[in-house]
A and B are shown apart, each in its own frame.
Chain A
Amino acid sequence: MSSIVSRMQAAFAHRTVALAVAAVALAAGAGCVAEYQRTDVDAVVESPLGGTVNYAAVTVPEGMIVKAHIAPFNDDGNPLTCVLSSEDATVMDVSQAVGDKDYAFYGLKAGTTRINVRAGDSVVMVLDAIVTPQPPTTP
Protein backbone atom coordinates (compact mmCIF):
# COMPACT_ATOMS: atom_id res chain seq x y z
CA MET A 1 0.00 0.00 0.00
CA SER A 2 2.73 2.37 0.99
CA SER A 3 4.58 1.54 -2.23
CA ILE A 4 1.46 2.48 -4.24
CA VAL A 5 1.19 5.75 -2.38
CA SER A 6 4.84 6.52 -2.87
CA ARG A 7 4.57 5.70 -6.63
CA MET A 8 1.57 8.06 -6.88
CA GLN A 9 3.51 10.74 -5.03
CA ALA A 10 6.45 10.24 -7.35
CA ALA A 11 4.19 10.45 -10.44
CA PHE A 12 2.56 13.59 -9.07
CA ALA A 13 5.97 15.10 -8.42
CA HIS A 14 7.05 14.25 -11.96
CA ARG A 15 3.93 15.84 -13.45
CA THR A 16 4.41 18.92 -11.30
CA VAL A 17 8.00 19.28 -12.42
CA ALA A 18 7.02 18.73 -16.08
CA LEU A 19 4.26 21.36 -15.85
CA ALA A 20 6.63 23.78 -14.17
CA VAL A 21 9.22 23.21 -16.89
CA ALA A 22 6.57 23.68 -19.60
CA ALA A 23 5.35 26.88 -17.96
CA VAL A 24 8.88 28.24 -17.74
CA ALA A 25 9.49 27.25 -21.36
CA LEU A 26 6.26 28.95 -22.47
CA ALA A 27 7.09 32.06 -20.51
CA ALA A 28 10.58 32.12 -21.98
CA GLY A 29 9.15 31.50 -25.44
CA ALA A 30 6.66 34.29 -25.06
CA GLY A 31 9.48 36.60 -24.07
CA CYS A 32 11.32 35.81 -27.29
CA VAL A 33 8.42 36.94 -29.55
CA ALA A 34 8.70 40.71 -29.85
CA GLU A 35 5.33 42.38 -30.09
CA TYR A 36 4.15 45.73 -31.39
CA GLN A 37 4.88 48.46 -28.92
CA ARG A 38 4.39 51.94 -30.40
CA THR A 39 4.23 54.10 -33.52
CA ASP A 40 6.22 57.27 -33.83
CA VAL A 41 4.70 60.15 -35.81
CA ASP A 42 7.12 62.96 -36.51
CA ALA A 43 8.82 65.06 -39.21
CA VAL A 44 5.47 66.52 -40.24
CA VAL A 45 5.61 68.94 -43.18
CA GLU A 46 2.47 71.04 -43.44
CA SER A 47 1.13 72.36 -46.71
CA PRO A 48 1.30 76.12 -47.36
CA LEU A 49 -2.38 76.20 -46.41
CA GLY A 50 -1.84 74.24 -43.20
CA GLY A 51 -2.78 70.74 -42.15
CA THR A 52 -1.13 68.39 -39.71
CA VAL A 53 -0.60 64.79 -38.63
CA ASN A 54 -0.60 63.56 -35.02
CA TYR A 55 -1.30 60.31 -33.20
CA ALA A 56 -5.04 60.72 -33.58
CA ALA A 57 -5.74 62.45 -36.85
CA VAL A 58 -4.44 63.74 -40.14
CA THR A 59 -5.84 66.98 -41.51
CA VAL A 60 -5.15 68.15 -45.06
CA PRO A 61 -6.68 71.09 -46.94
CA GLU A 62 -8.32 70.17 -50.22
CA GLY A 63 -5.82 70.01 -53.08
CA MET A 64 -2.84 70.01 -50.71
CA ILE A 65 -0.30 67.51 -49.39
CA VAL A 66 0.90 66.94 -45.85
CA LYS A 67 3.90 64.68 -45.24
CA ALA A 68 4.85 62.76 -42.12
CA HIS A 69 7.28 60.10 -40.94
CA ILE A 70 5.30 57.24 -39.44
CA ALA A 71 7.30 54.42 -37.90
CA PRO A 72 5.97 51.51 -35.81
CA PHE A 73 8.31 49.67 -33.43
CA ASN A 74 8.19 46.39 -31.54
CA ASP A 75 8.94 46.05 -27.84
CA ASP A 76 12.55 45.24 -28.67
CA GLY A 77 12.83 48.71 -30.11
CA ASN A 78 13.19 47.42 -33.67
CA PRO A 79 11.29 49.08 -36.54
CA LEU A 80 8.40 47.20 -38.11
CA THR A 81 7.39 47.22 -41.74
CA CYS A 82 4.49 49.54 -42.24
CA VAL A 83 1.65 49.93 -44.74
CA LEU A 84 -0.78 52.85 -44.75
CA SER A 85 -4.12 52.78 -46.52
CA SER A 86 -7.12 55.04 -46.80
CA GLU A 87 -10.65 53.77 -46.28
CA ASP A 88 -11.85 56.28 -48.89
CA ALA A 89 -9.14 57.26 -51.35
CA THR A 90 -11.50 59.69 -53.10
CA VAL A 91 -11.41 61.87 -49.97
CA MET A 92 -7.83 61.38 -48.82
CA ASP A 93 -5.18 59.24 -50.44
CA VAL A 94 -1.86 58.22 -48.97
CA SER A 95 1.32 57.09 -50.69
CA GLN A 96 4.97 56.58 -50.03
CA ALA A 97 7.23 59.60 -50.25
CA VAL A 98 10.96 59.51 -50.81
CA GLY A 99 12.56 58.57 -47.51
CA ASP A 100 12.08 55.53 -45.30
CA LYS A 101 8.58 55.46 -43.75
CA ASP A 102 7.80 58.93 -45.12
CA TYR A 103 4.19 59.18 -46.26
CA ALA A 104 2.31 61.82 -48.24
CA PHE A 105 -1.34 62.48 -47.48
CA TYR A 106 -3.31 63.94 -50.39
CA GLY A 107 -6.42 66.02 -49.70
CA LEU A 108 -8.61 65.19 -52.68
CA LYS A 109 -12.14 66.10 -51.63
CA ALA A 110 -13.54 67.83 -48.58
CA GLY A 111 -14.84 65.21 -46.18
CA THR A 112 -13.74 62.63 -43.64
CA THR A 113 -12.42 59.08 -43.74
CA ARG A 114 -9.84 57.02 -41.85
CA ILE A 115 -6.24 56.03 -42.45
CA ASN A 116 -5.20 52.58 -41.26
CA VAL A 117 -1.61 52.03 -40.20
CA ARG A 118 -0.77 48.35 -40.53
CA ALA A 119 2.36 46.75 -39.09
CA GLY A 120 2.73 43.11 -40.04
CA ASP A 121 -0.74 41.56 -40.03
CA SER A 122 -2.25 43.97 -37.56
CA VAL A 123 -3.76 47.41 -37.77
CA VAL A 124 -1.81 49.20 -35.07
CA MET A 125 -3.19 52.70 -35.47
CA VAL A 126 -6.26 54.29 -37.01
CA LEU A 127 -6.11 57.99 -37.82
CA ASP A 128 -9.16 60.13 -38.40
CA ALA A 129 -8.62 61.70 -41.81
CA ILE A 130 -10.13 65.11 -42.42
CA VAL A 131 -9.95 67.04 -45.69
CA THR A 132 -10.91 70.66 -45.13
CA PRO A 133 -12.21 72.96 -47.88
CA GLN A 134 -9.77 75.48 -49.30
CA PRO A 135 -10.07 78.99 -47.94
CA PRO A 136 -11.54 81.51 -50.38
CA THR A 137 -8.89 82.93 -52.69
CA THR A 138 -7.94 86.56 -52.89
CA PRO A 139 -6.64 86.91 -56.44
Chain B
Amino acid sequence: MIRRNTHTRAADRRASAALLLFAVGATLASTACTDTGPRPPPSAIKAGELGNGGFTFTCDDSVVCAKYTNTAQNFPKAVALGSTFRAQFVPNPGTDVDVSVSRTQVDVGVDGKQSAFSIDGVGRTWLSRGPEGLAALKPGYATITAKNSLGQLVDYAVIRIAEADAIVVYDGAFKAGSSAPARITAINMKVGERRTFRALARAKNEDLAGAVRFDWKSLDESVLQIESLTEGTVTVLAKAAGKTALSTEGASLVSKTDAEVTP
Protein backbone atom coordinates (compact mmCIF):
# COMPACT_ATOMS: atom_id res chain seq x y z
CA MET B 1 0.00 0.00 0.00
CA ILE B 2 2.76 2.35 0.98
CA ARG B 3 4.71 1.43 -2.15
CA ARG B 4 1.65 2.04 -4.29
CA ASN B 5 1.20 5.52 -2.74
CA THR B 6 4.85 6.32 -3.38
CA HIS B 7 4.47 5.18 -6.97
CA THR B 8 1.34 7.29 -7.40
CA ARG B 9 3.06 10.38 -5.99
CA ALA B 10 6.06 9.82 -8.27
CA ALA B 11 3.74 9.45 -11.23
CA ASP B 12 1.96 12.66 -10.22
CA ARG B 13 5.29 14.48 -9.99
CA ARG B 14 6.29 13.21 -13.43
CA ALA B 15 2.96 14.30 -14.86
CA SER B 16 3.33 17.75 -13.26
CA ALA B 17 6.88 18.06 -14.62
CA ALA B 18 5.68 17.04 -18.08
CA LEU B 19 2.90 19.62 -17.94
CA LEU B 20 5.38 22.29 -16.81
CA LEU B 21 7.79 21.37 -19.61
CA PHE B 22 4.96 21.47 -22.11
CA ALA B 23 3.90 24.91 -20.87
CA VAL B 24 7.48 26.24 -21.05
CA GLY B 25 7.95 24.74 -24.50
CA ALA B 26 4.70 26.21 -25.76
CA THR B 27 5.65 29.62 -24.39
CA LEU B 28 9.08 29.48 -26.02
CA ALA B 29 7.58 28.37 -29.31
CA SER B 30 5.02 31.15 -29.10
CA THR B 31 7.75 33.69 -28.35
CA ALA B 32 9.84 32.44 -31.25
CA CYS B 33 6.91 32.84 -33.61
CA THR B 34 5.92 36.28 -32.51
CA ASP B 35 9.19 38.11 -31.86
CA THR B 36 9.78 38.66 -35.58
CA GLY B 37 7.28 41.51 -35.45
CA PRO B 38 4.22 42.05 -37.61
CA ARG B 39 4.21 39.95 -40.75
CA PRO B 40 4.59 41.94 -43.99
CA PRO B 41 1.83 41.68 -46.64
CA PRO B 42 2.01 38.56 -48.83
CA SER B 43 3.03 40.53 -51.92
CA ALA B 44 6.10 41.79 -50.08
CA ILE B 45 7.31 38.27 -49.37
CA LYS B 46 8.96 36.08 -51.95
CA ALA B 47 8.39 32.48 -50.89
CA GLY B 48 11.50 30.43 -50.31
CA GLU B 49 12.05 27.34 -52.43
CA LEU B 50 12.09 25.03 -49.40
CA GLY B 51 8.76 26.24 -48.03
CA ASN B 52 10.12 27.29 -44.65
CA GLY B 53 9.37 30.99 -45.08
CA GLY B 54 9.99 33.92 -47.39
CA PHE B 55 12.16 36.93 -48.03
CA THR B 56 11.41 40.63 -47.85
CA PHE B 57 13.30 43.29 -49.78
CA THR B 58 14.52 46.73 -48.75
CA CYS B 59 16.56 49.28 -50.63
CA ASP B 60 16.92 53.00 -51.09
CA ASP B 61 15.51 53.63 -54.55
CA SER B 62 12.19 55.31 -53.64
CA VAL B 63 10.47 53.50 -56.49
CA VAL B 64 10.30 49.79 -55.82
CA CYS B 65 11.02 50.52 -52.18
CA ALA B 66 8.99 53.15 -50.38
CA LYS B 67 10.68 56.38 -49.44
CA TYR B 68 11.88 56.61 -45.81
CA THR B 69 10.93 53.05 -44.84
CA ASN B 70 12.87 51.58 -47.79
CA THR B 71 10.62 48.53 -47.77
CA ALA B 72 9.22 47.00 -50.94
CA GLN B 73 5.50 46.26 -50.94
CA ASN B 74 6.11 43.91 -53.84
CA PHE B 75 9.20 41.77 -53.93
CA PRO B 76 10.98 42.85 -57.13
CA LYS B 77 11.64 40.55 -60.06
CA ALA B 78 14.99 42.11 -60.89
CA VAL B 79 17.68 44.29 -59.39
CA ALA B 80 20.10 46.53 -61.24
CA LEU B 81 23.64 45.41 -61.84
CA GLY B 82 25.86 47.32 -59.41
CA SER B 83 23.02 48.10 -57.02
CA THR B 84 22.77 47.23 -53.34
CA PHE B 85 19.81 45.96 -51.39
CA ARG B 86 18.94 44.15 -48.20
CA ALA B 87 16.81 41.10 -47.60
CA GLN B 88 15.34 39.60 -44.49
CA PHE B 89 13.94 36.16 -43.86
CA VAL B 90 10.46 35.74 -42.47
CA PRO B 91 9.84 32.17 -41.25
CA ASN B 92 6.46 30.61 -41.78
CA PRO B 93 4.46 30.65 -38.56
CA GLY B 94 4.36 27.34 -36.79
CA THR B 95 7.24 25.77 -38.67
CA ASP B 96 10.03 23.96 -36.88
CA VAL B 97 12.37 26.60 -38.26
CA ASP B 98 11.21 29.06 -35.60
CA VAL B 99 11.99 26.94 -32.63
CA SER B 100 15.03 25.21 -34.07
CA VAL B 101 16.91 28.49 -34.05
CA SER B 102 18.94 29.02 -30.93
CA ARG B 103 17.49 31.88 -28.96
CA THR B 104 20.82 32.64 -27.33
CA GLN B 105 22.93 32.80 -30.48
CA VAL B 106 21.67 35.45 -32.84
CA ASP B 107 23.39 36.62 -35.99
CA VAL B 108 23.70 40.19 -37.09
CA GLY B 109 21.88 40.59 -40.36
CA VAL B 110 23.10 42.61 -43.32
CA ASP B 111 20.97 45.48 -42.07
CA GLY B 112 22.99 45.64 -38.86
CA LYS B 113 20.03 44.53 -36.78
CA GLN B 114 20.17 41.37 -34.77
CA SER B 115 18.43 38.62 -36.61
CA ALA B 116 17.97 34.95 -36.00
CA PHE B 117 18.88 34.36 -39.64
CA SER B 118 21.94 35.41 -41.56
CA ILE B 119 21.39 36.49 -45.16
CA ASP B 120 23.95 35.92 -47.87
CA GLY B 121 24.38 34.88 -51.48
CA VAL B 122 25.70 31.69 -53.01
CA GLY B 123 29.38 32.21 -53.76
CA ARG B 124 30.73 35.61 -54.71
CA THR B 125 30.01 35.61 -58.44
CA TRP B 126 26.58 37.24 -58.51
CA LEU B 127 26.18 38.65 -55.01
CA SER B 128 28.57 39.89 -52.36
CA ARG B 129 27.72 40.82 -48.81
CA GLY B 130 28.99 44.11 -47.44
CA PRO B 131 28.09 46.93 -45.09
CA GLU B 132 25.42 48.21 -47.50
CA GLY B 133 23.81 44.80 -47.74
CA LEU B 134 23.99 42.59 -50.78
CA ALA B 135 25.62 43.98 -53.91
CA ALA B 136 24.63 42.75 -57.39
CA LEU B 137 27.88 41.90 -59.18
CA LYS B 138 27.02 40.13 -62.43
CA PRO B 139 23.99 39.84 -64.72
CA GLY B 140 22.19 36.55 -64.24
CA TYR B 141 20.30 34.78 -61.50
CA ALA B 142 21.45 35.06 -57.92
CA THR B 143 20.41 33.01 -54.91
CA ILE B 144 19.69 34.68 -51.58
CA THR B 145 20.11 32.33 -48.64
CA ALA B 146 18.90 32.39 -45.04
CA LYS B 147 20.82 30.33 -42.52
CA ASN B 148 20.12 29.81 -38.85
CA SER B 149 22.63 30.23 -36.06
CA LEU B 150 23.76 26.64 -36.52
CA GLY B 151 24.78 27.45 -40.09
CA GLN B 152 22.02 25.29 -41.53
CA LEU B 153 20.31 26.45 -44.68
CA VAL B 154 16.75 27.39 -43.77
CA ASP B 155 15.56 28.60 -47.16
CA TYR B 156 16.55 30.41 -50.33
CA ALA B 157 15.11 32.47 -53.15
CA VAL B 158 16.35 33.51 -56.57
CA ILE B 159 16.41 37.03 -57.97
CA ARG B 160 17.46 38.25 -61.42
CA ILE B 161 20.27 40.76 -61.86
CA ALA B 162 19.84 42.85 -65.00
CA GLU B 163 22.13 45.27 -66.75
CA ALA B 164 20.48 48.66 -67.11
CA ASP B 165 20.01 50.14 -70.56
CA ALA B 166 18.69 53.51 -69.37
CA ILE B 167 18.79 55.94 -66.49
CA VAL B 168 15.49 57.54 -65.61
CA VAL B 169 15.59 60.90 -63.82
CA TYR B 170 12.42 61.53 -61.84
CA ASP B 171 10.96 64.00 -59.37
CA GLY B 172 12.53 63.57 -55.93
CA ALA B 173 9.08 64.07 -54.35
CA PHE B 174 7.69 61.01 -56.14
CA LYS B 175 6.14 58.50 -53.79
CA ALA B 176 6.39 54.81 -54.54
CA GLY B 177 3.12 53.30 -55.59
CA SER B 178 1.57 51.23 -58.30
CA SER B 179 2.63 53.55 -61.11
CA ALA B 180 6.17 54.11 -62.30
CA PRO B 181 7.61 57.60 -61.84
CA ALA B 182 7.33 59.93 -64.80
CA ARG B 183 10.61 60.42 -66.60
CA ILE B 184 11.84 63.98 -66.59
CA THR B 185 13.14 64.78 -70.05
CA ALA B 186 13.67 68.52 -69.52
CA ILE B 187 14.03 70.77 -66.49
CA ASN B 188 12.42 74.22 -66.45
CA MET B 189 12.98 76.39 -63.39
CA LYS B 190 12.76 79.99 -62.28
CA VAL B 191 15.75 81.78 -60.78
CA GLY B 192 15.89 81.09 -57.04
CA GLU B 193 13.80 77.92 -57.32
CA ARG B 194 14.94 74.65 -55.75
CA ARG B 195 14.03 71.17 -56.93
CA THR B 196 14.96 67.63 -56.00
CA PHE B 197 15.60 64.75 -58.35
CA ARG B 198 16.34 61.06 -58.11
CA ALA B 199 17.30 58.46 -60.66
CA LEU B 200 16.70 54.80 -61.22
CA ALA B 201 18.07 52.15 -63.51
CA ARG B 202 15.78 50.66 -66.13
CA ALA B 203 16.16 47.73 -68.53
CA LYS B 204 13.81 47.25 -71.48
CA ASN B 205 11.26 49.60 -69.88
CA GLU B 206 11.33 47.65 -66.62
CA ASP B 207 12.26 49.56 -63.46
CA LEU B 208 15.09 47.78 -61.73
CA ALA B 209 15.15 47.60 -57.96
CA GLY B 210 18.15 48.25 -55.78
CA ALA B 211 20.03 51.34 -54.73
CA VAL B 212 22.38 52.55 -57.47
CA ARG B 213 24.99 55.16 -56.64
CA PHE B 214 24.51 58.00 -59.08
CA ASP B 215 26.86 60.95 -59.55
CA TRP B 216 25.17 64.24 -60.43
CA LYS B 217 26.83 67.15 -62.20
CA SER B 218 25.63 70.45 -63.59
CA LEU B 219 27.32 71.33 -66.85
CA ASP B 220 27.10 75.00 -65.84
CA GLU B 221 27.10 75.63 -62.10
CA SER B 222 26.52 79.36 -62.65
CA VAL B 223 23.07 78.49 -64.08
CA LEU B 224 22.10 75.39 -62.17
CA GLN B 225 23.94 74.65 -58.96
CA ILE B 226 24.00 71.30 -57.18
CA GLU B 227 23.36 72.12 -53.55
CA SER B 228 23.31 68.73 -51.90
CA LEU B 229 23.16 65.00 -52.49
CA THR B 230 21.56 63.02 -49.70
CA GLU B 231 20.75 59.32 -49.91
CA GLY B 232 20.22 59.34 -53.64
CA THR B 233 18.28 62.60 -53.77
CA VAL B 234 19.97 65.59 -55.40
CA THR B 235 18.85 69.16 -54.68
CA VAL B 236 19.54 71.78 -57.34
CA LEU B 237 19.24 75.58 -57.19
CA ALA B 238 18.43 77.72 -60.21
CA LYS B 239 21.01 80.49 -59.85
CA ALA B 240 20.79 82.48 -63.03
CA ALA B 241 18.88 82.53 -66.29
CA GLY B 242 20.38 80.37 -68.98
CA LYS B 243 20.55 76.90 -70.50
CA THR B 244 22.58 73.93 -69.28
CA ALA B 245 22.17 70.22 -68.60
CA LEU B 246 22.11 67.96 -65.59
CA SER B 247 24.34 64.94 -65.95
CA THR B 248 23.54 61.70 -64.13
CA GLU B 249 26.11 58.93 -64.12
CA GLY B 250 25.66 55.45 -62.66
CA ALA B 251 25.08 51.79 -63.53
CA SER B 252 27.75 52.21 -66.25
CA LEU B 253 25.52 54.73 -68.04
CA VAL B 254 25.41 58.51 -68.41
CA SER B 255 22.20 60.48 -68.88
CA LYS B 256 21.93 64.18 -69.69
CA THR B 257 18.76 66.15 -68.97
CA ASP B 258 18.44 69.58 -70.60
CA ALA B 259 17.76 72.38 -68.13
CA GLU B 260 16.55 75.93 -68.70
CA VAL B 261 16.40 78.60 -66.03
CA THR B 262 14.25 81.64 -66.71
CA PRO B 263 14.08 84.96 -64.78
Residues of A within 8 A of B (CB): 45, 47-49, 62-65, 67, 95-99, 104, 106-109, 134, 137, 139
Q: Which of B52, B125, B165, B206 contacts A63 (CB 8 A)?
A: B125
Chain B window 115-133, contacts with chain A (Cβ cutoff 8 Å), 1 for yes, 0 for no: 0000000110110000000
Residues of B within 8 A of A (CB): 49-50, 52, 78, 96-97, 100, 122-123, 125-126, 139-143, 145, 148, 150-154, 156, 158, 160-163, 165, 203-204, 206
Tell me, rounded to whole Å, the shortest Cβ–Cβ distance linking B133 to chain A: 18
The answer to whether A98 and B49 touch (CB under 8 A), given A137-B162, A139-B204, is no
Task: Say what secondary structure dominates the interface of chain B.
Answer: mixed
In contact, B151 and A65 (Cβ under 8 angstroms): no
In contact, A108 and B162 (Cβ under 8 angstroms): no
In contact, B122 and A65 (Cβ under 8 angstroms): yes
The answer to whether A65 and B125 touch (CB under 8 A), given A134-B141, A139-B139, A139-B203, is no
* Bound Cα distance from A65 to B49, whole angstroms: 10
In contact, A107 and B96 (Cβ under 8 angstroms): no
* Bound Cα distance from A62 to B143, whole angstroms: 10
Q: Which of B100, B125, B143, B163 contacts A47 (CB 8 A)?
A: B143
Write out the residue numbers on chain A whose beta carbons fall within 8 Å of the beta carbon of B151: 95-96
Write out the residue numbers on chain B whose beta carbons fall within 8 Å of the beta carbon of A96: 150-153
* Bound Cα distance from A53 to B52, whole angstroms: 20
In contact, B122 and A64 (Cβ under 8 angstroms): yes
In contact, B122 and A95 (Cβ under 8 angstroms): no
Write out the residue numbers on chain B whose beta carbons fall within 8 Å of the beta carbon of A95: 151-153
Write out the residue numbers on chain B whose beta carbons fall within 8 Å of the beta carbon of A108: 122-123, 125
Tell me, rounded to whole Å, the shortest Cβ–Cβ distance linking A44 to chain B: 12
Write out the residue numbers on chain B whose beta carbons fall within 8 Å of the beta carbon of A62: 125
Write out the residue numbers on chain A whose beta carbons fall within 8 Å of the beta carbon of B97: 98
Tell me, rounded to whole Å, the shortest Cβ–Cβ distance linking B78 to chain A: 7
In contact, B158 and A64 (Cβ under 8 angstroms): yes
* Bound Cα distance from A95 to B148, whole angstroms: 12
Tell me, rounded to whole Å, the shortest Cβ–Cβ distance linking B200 to chain A: 15
Chain A CB count within 10 A is highest, among B97, B100, B123, for B123
* Bound Cα distance from A99 to B155, whole angstroms: 11
Write out the residue numbers on chain B whose beta carbons fall within 8 Å of the beta carbon of A65: 49, 122, 143, 145, 153, 156
In contact, A139 and B162 (Cβ under 8 angstroms): yes
In contact, A107 and B122 (Cβ under 8 angstroms): yes
In contact, A63 and B139 (Cβ under 8 angstroms): no
Chain B residue, CB-CB nearest to A106: B122
Chain B CB count within 10 A is highest, among A64, A108, A139, for A139
In contact, A48 and B78 (Cβ under 8 angstroms): no
* Bound Cα distance from A98 to B97, whole angstroms: 7
Write out the residue numbers on chain A whose beta carbons fall within 8 Å of the beta carbon of B142: 63
Write out the residue numbers on chain B whose beta carbons fall within 8 Å of the beta carbon of A97: 50, 152-154
Write out the residue numbers on chain A whose beta carbons fall within 8 Å of the beta carbon of B122: 63-65, 106-108
In contact, B96 and A98 (Cβ under 8 angstroms): yes
* Bound Cα distance from A48 to B48, whole angstroms: 11
